[in-house]
Structure 1
Amino acid sequence: MILSISGVVLFGTIGFIFFRKDGLKPSHACVSILFGFYLASTTIAPTIRAGGEGLASLLGGMRF
């Protein structure tokens, strides 16, 4: 639950910054699409959420 809320805040903030700074470009649209999947409760959203959680755990497990 915390990761999905963090994902919504993260992708929402990044999308807003991209929109305000340069207009919405195709690469920025990908961030907006991810933001939409975190907000939506479609059948593919759990798969994308699981991928985000997997990426977060991968990045969380890295030691520098």
Structure 2
Amino acid sequence: MTPEEALAGVTLWGAKALGLQATHGSLEPGKVASFVHWPLARPAELVYWLGGELPCQVIYRGEAQ
């Protein structure tokens, strides 16, 4: 599984599995926006940041935390 596939699995496909794809799972107008921003060049770098460096920004339900 590629890093991109893993990321889709916990976002797009996770929301679909829970029946929430209309409001969750991707960053689109009208959807709930909760995400964490790390300074990554590509998705494969995410495994190096988890549990280590603090994120640049956290957005929860559209609001900066």
Same fold (TM over 0.5): no
TM-score range, shorter chain: 0.3 to 0.5
TM-score, L = length of structure 2: 0.34
Q: Tell which has more relative contact order, 1 or 2 (C-alpha 8 A, sep 6+).
A: 1
More helix by share: 1
TM-score, L = length of structure 1: 0.35
